[in-house]
Homo-oligomer: A and B are copies of this chain.
Amino acid sequence: MQAPRHLISTDDLSLQEMEALFESARAYEQDLSGWPDVCRGRIAATLFYEPSTRTRLSFESAMLRLGGGVITAADMNVSSASKGESLADTVRVVCGYADALILRHQSEGAARLAAECSSVPVINAGDGSHEHPTQTLCDLYSLWIERGRIEGLDVVFAGDLRYSRTVHSFAYALARFRANIVCIPQPGFDLPKYVVQRLREEYGVEPMKADASRLGHLAASSDVVYLTPQKPHQLSLFTDPQGLSVGNVDAVYMTRPQTERFGADSELDETKYLQLGKRQLAAESLRDAVVMHPLPRRDEISSEIDTDPRSIYFKQAARGVPIRMAILAALLGRTDVLGSSTPGPEPSWPAQKSGLVCGNQSCICHTEDRHVGVRFRLVSRVPLRVSCPYCSQEIEFGVVGCSTTEHFHAPDSRDLRKVHPEHMVFFRDGVHAQAAGFKAARGASTPHPG
């Protein structure tokens, strides 16, 4: 049996595949009730370990609109889990009941683990703060429909940019499509450094100070930053000492303050949250911008603009159905939108006999330790950096040994290029490596001059 194709992260899809999904979704959207035979005889199972009615209903609607059936476990945390069953085993069983699994879980990396255990396609419907690819695809699709393209668009992100997973994932995806981002954070809730770093490393995005004078009230009390994958000389925007001047904005993406993730001594008084209303929308730059929001909203978008034609957040939510129809039909093999080859995740290796432990306490690898060993994936060779294949977070270590030569090396040693990942043994430091019988290689404590 060939391994099925999964959707755990938007990184599992090429840009071409995403655009093919958008084309497919557009056809569905034009006649939602016209496709009752596409998935006839197929069943999708929704396994939700935490409630998310909106996401669940939109998946179920998508499957039903394709003529398929749905079996639902809306609160897995109160059922099988109480008999002590692991997620891995639950997935192994339920994949025998359905043709696709749609999983929502509070632990990061849960969907990747599920994919390893499943004989049918797994779709990640949110794994903790990690990924929620169908939300990101819905956002991209909505932008693509409204603007006709994604590349080169100017998208404002406003509000809580620090804790919103949705915004982080959308930022990576926009950068892949070579769109530009204008950050208007709630003061104190900037995009986290690790997000900016990934944008820089993977997509060549450079943050630049922006002149927000044409953005009006919305940007009145924030330091606005422009993130673009383009080189400065490619920018048509005018740059002066005030920073890059923001011109016509294509979309404003508002976010909800993730108050449930603020500490008790929250820095943010909820009543002072950045709000988008008639006054803010009146800015010249926003004249043609569409207003987006992942929903649910609280007060960050005033209901006074609900009837403004630029407000598309409810349309955006409704588009969750056709884009999920496109995803389900493709993964179930009912359309040929996705290549038959399975790109799959990057390879990973077991971290046997080594001290390597994923440092993310919310990662699924800690709760599923009976079935899942610690594994690692290569982030870079020189310097050697590794990450957890489940939650994607980098794992820290001091030195790394080679089980063949029994030497150990500093992470920035060029010798590591020759060590196969299967032979890597990780240690907190050289003392631990020596205690395990490894000898220091040339340059183990200092970088090899090369």
- Smallest distance from the beta carbon of A100 to chain B beta carbons, Å? 12
How long is the Cα–Cα vector from A27 to B3 in the complex, in angstroms? 25
Q: How many copies does the complex hold?
A: 3
Is residue A180 contacting chain B, with contact meaning CB distance below 8 A?
Answer: no
Is the CB–CB distance between B303 and A83 below 8 Å?
no
Provide the residues of chain B in CB contact with A51, threshold 8 Å.
Answer: 78-79, 82
Q: Does A383 contact B (CB under 8 A)?
A: no
A317 on the B face (CB < 8 A): yes
Shortest distance in angstroms between A19's beta carbon and chain B's nearest beta carbon? 23
Binds B, one of A59-67, A386-394, A403-411, A426-434: A59-67
Query: Is the CB of A379 closer than 8 A to any CB of chain B?
Result: no
Give the residues from 344 to 395 in chain A that come closer than 8 angstroms, CB to CB, to chain B.
Answer: 370-371
CA distance A319 to B93 in the complex (A): 10
B296 pairs with A80, CB closer than 8 A: yes
> Are A98 and B61 in contact (CB-based, < 8 A)?
yes
In the assembly, what is the distance between CA of A43 and CA of B435, in Å?
A: 65
Indicate if the CB atoms of B79 and A295 lie closer than 8 Å. no
**Assembly CA distance A238 to B107 (angstroms):** 55
CB contacts (< 8 Å) of A43 on chain B: these are 61, 64-65
In the bound complex, CA of A300 to CA of B298 (Å): 47
- Chain B's closest residue to A321 (CB) is B97
Is the CB of A262 closer than 8 A to any CB of chain B? no
A436 adjacent to chain B (CB < 8 Å):
no
B97 contacts A57, C-beta separation under 8 Å: yes
Give the residues from 271 to 314 in chain A that come closer than 8 angstroms, CB to CB, to chain B. Answer: 295-299, 303, 314
Task: Kindly list chain B residues whose C-beta atoms are within 8 Å of the C-beta of A295.
Answer: 85, 89, 93
Identity of the chain B residue whose Cβ is nearest the Cβ of A67 in the assembled complex = B41
Q: Which of A311-360 contact B (CB under 8 A)?
A: 314-315, 317-321
Judged by a CB distance under 8 angstroms, whether A99 is at the interface is yes
The stretch of A32-40, A158-166, A169-177 in contact with B is: A32-40
Q: Which residues of B contact A76 (CB under 8 A)?
A: 53
Q: Which of A72-123 contact B (CB under 8 A)?
A: 72-74, 76, 78-80, 82-85, 88-90, 92-94, 96-99
- Contact present for B69 and A317 (CB under 8 Å): no
Q: Interface on chain A toward B: helix, strand, loop, or mixed SS?
A: mixed
Q: Considering the chains assembled together, what is the distance between the CA atoms of A321 and B120 in angstroms?
A: 16
Flag if B41 contacts A57 (CB, 8 Å): no
The CA-CA distance from A57 to B96 in the complex, in Å, is 10
Instruction: Please measure, in the bound complex, the distance between the C-alpha atom of A96 and the C-alpha atom of B78, giving whole angstroms.
Output: 29
Chain B CB within 8 A of A42 CB: yes
Q: Does A54 contact B (CB under 8 A)?
A: yes
Contacts of A98 in B (CB 8 A): 61
Whether A64 contacts B69 in the complex (CB less than 8 A), given A36-B41, A99-B33, A318-B96, comes out as yes
Q: Which residues of B contact A34 (CB under 8 A)?
A: 41
Shortest Cβ gap from A216 to chain B (Å):
24
Whether A208 sits at the interface, judged by CB under 8 Å, is no
- A93–B40 CB distance below 8 A: no
Judge if A58 is at the interface, Cβ distance under 8 Å. Answer: yes
Interface residue A14 (Cβ < 8 Å from any Cβ of B): no
> Is A254 among interface residues, defined by CB-CB distance under 8 A?
no
With A65-B41, A85-B296, A299-B370 known as contacts, the answer to whether A60 contacts B71 (CB < 8 A) is yes
A: residues with CB less than 8 A from B are: 33-36, 40-43, 45, 51-54, 57-58, 60-61, 64-65, 67, 69-74, 76, 78-80, 82-85, 88-90, 92-94, 96-99, 256, 260, 295-299, 303, 314-315, 317-321, 370-371
CB<8 Å pairs between A and B, sample of 26:
A33-B41, A36-B41, A43-B61, A43-B65, A45-B57, A51-B82, A52-B79, A53-B79, A54-B94, A58-B97, A61-B97, A83-B260, A85-B297, A89-B296, A89-B297, A92-B314, A92-B317, A93-B295, A93-B314, A93-B317, A96-B314, A96-B317, A96-B318, A97-B318, A97-B321, A299-B370
The 6 closest A-B pairs by CB, nearest first: A96-B318, A64-B69, A85-B296, A33-B41, A51-B79, A53-B79
